[in-house]
């Protein structure tokens, strides 16, 4: 079961809670495939979203998930909102709650913003990414995709390769995957992957080939140019040469390894195009799974409000 009001991160979720969300995701997937409208029961609930950072996948899949549950999700377009007149975060929150909103989906550039919101509101808060901290629904959809292709996460070797330093996806995946028994390795340039990340229960290496050797899952991560305060590597072409994932490296991974990326992808930077488009790539199936995971999370949090 998952009895909490909010979904803020995977750091403190138990194995049972993670498995409950993943099982509910599988129910959502079946229902959508059967087109049975079995879960289109939530029209009486109000869900809103606020994205202080750009998004394509997360925002649209939350909207699609709401549609599939019979909910008309309303987005507060941050760039045209009264945030730009100086309204505070808590005042914004209180005004949204005053409209009888049940759930609020939030992406924000500052770590911990959604935790502050959850402490100051009776609404359920879903973290759609907070700074470099966590992106729980992305990691849940990654885990659901791994389960779909590999059946069981326990004992799998998962290589997460790229700009780990700025990655909330890497952090949420480290928490969730290790709780479910996977062996996770972080691989990347020494400016983007460091020894102190071992506190997340992962192995760390600056050798990309070593990271993906014997991997069941290879997850590439985007170079987050917008978060780089200093230059962490000389150029994109040199980054690709020394730290990118190339097709000829795949022979070191398990023969049936799947290739993942949360998107958006910098083609030819962190991953070569023939890796992105490889027949073992599940990058677009991850996006499809995002709808089912977000349906599951919204359904669970709304059921908890009954």
Residues contributing to the site for ligand CP (CB under 6 A):
55-58, 138, 262-264
Cβ neighbours around 227 below 10 Å, total: 13
Measured from the CB atom, the residue of 155 and 264 that comes closer to ligand CP is: 264
Q: How many helices (H) and strands (E) does the chain have?
A: 10, 9
Cβ neighbours around 179 below 10 Å, total: 21
> Are 49 and 105 a contacting pair, CB within 8 Å?
yes
> What's the closest the beta carbon of residue 286 comes to ligand CP, in angstroms?
8
Measured from the CB atom, the residue of 249 and 291 that comes closer to ligand CP is: 291
Helices 136-150, 283-303: inter-axial angle, 10-degree rounding: 120
- Taking the CA atoms of 81, 4, 306 and 301 in sequence, report the sign of the dihedral they define: positive
Listed residue (295, 270, 294) closest to 283, CA to CA: 270
> What's the closest the beta carbon of residue 255 comes to ligand CP, in angstroms?
28
What DSSP character marks residue 295?
A: H
> What's the closest the beta carbon of residue 98 comes to ligand CP, in angstroms?
28
> What's the closest the beta carbon of residue 167 comes to ligand CP, in angstroms?
10
Listed residue (128, 147, 124, 144) closest to 136, CA to CA: 128
> What's the closest the beta carbon of residue 262 comes to ligand CP, in angstroms?
4
What DSSP character marks residue 85?
A: G
**Nearest position to ligand CP, beta carbon:** 58
Measured from the CB atom, the residue of 208 and 219 that comes closer to ligand CP is: 219
The tokens describing 229, both together, are: 């305060």
> What's the closest the beta carbon of residue 263 comes to ligand CP, in angstroms?
5
Measured from the CB atom, the residue of 11 and 59 that comes closer to ligand CP is: 59
Measured from the CB atom, the residue of 164 and 249 that comes closer to ligand CP is: 164
Pairing of strands 217-220, 157-161: parallel
Measured from the CB atom, the residue of 5 and 57 that comes closer to ligand CP is: 57
């Amino acid at each position: 079961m998952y009895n909490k009001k909010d979904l803020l991160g995977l750091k403190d979720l138990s194995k049972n809670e993670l498995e409950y969300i993943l099982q509910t995701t599988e129910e959502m997937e079946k229902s959508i495939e059967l087109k049975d409208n079995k879960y289109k029961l939530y029209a009486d609930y109000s869900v809103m979203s606020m994205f202080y950072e750009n998004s394509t996948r997360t925002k649209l899949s939350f909207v699609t998930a709401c549609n599939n549950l019979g909910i008309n999700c309303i987005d507060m377009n941050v760039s045209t909102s009264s945030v730009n007149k100086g309204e505070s975060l808590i005042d914004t929150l209180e005004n949204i709650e005053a409209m009888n909103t049940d759930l609020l989906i939030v992406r924000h550039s500052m770590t911990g913003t959604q935790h502050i919101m959850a402490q100051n509101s009776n609404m359920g808060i879903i973290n759609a990414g907070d700074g470099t901290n966590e992106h729980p629904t992305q990691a849940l959809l990654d885990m659901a995709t791994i389960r779909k292709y590999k059946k069981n996460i326990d004992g799998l070797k998962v290589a997460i390769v790229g700009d780990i330093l700025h990655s909330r996806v890497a952090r949420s995946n480290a928490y969730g995957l290790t709780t479910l028994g996977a062996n996770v390795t972080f691989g990347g340039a020494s400016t983007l992957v460091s020894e102190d990340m071992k506190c997340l229960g992962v192995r760390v290496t600056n050798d990309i080939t070593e990271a993906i050797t014997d991997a069941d899952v290879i997850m590439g991560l985007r170079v987050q140019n917008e978060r780089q305060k200093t230059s962490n590597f000389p150029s994109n072409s040199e980054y690709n040469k020394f730290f990118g994932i190339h097709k000829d490296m795949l022979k070191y991974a398990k023969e049936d390894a799947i290739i993942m990326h949360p998107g958006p992808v910098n083609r030819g930077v962190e991953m070569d195009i023939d890796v992105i488009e490889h027949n073992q790539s599940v990058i677009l199936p991850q996006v499809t799974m995002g709808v089912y995971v977000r349906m599951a999370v919204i359904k669970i949090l709304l059921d908890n409000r009954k």
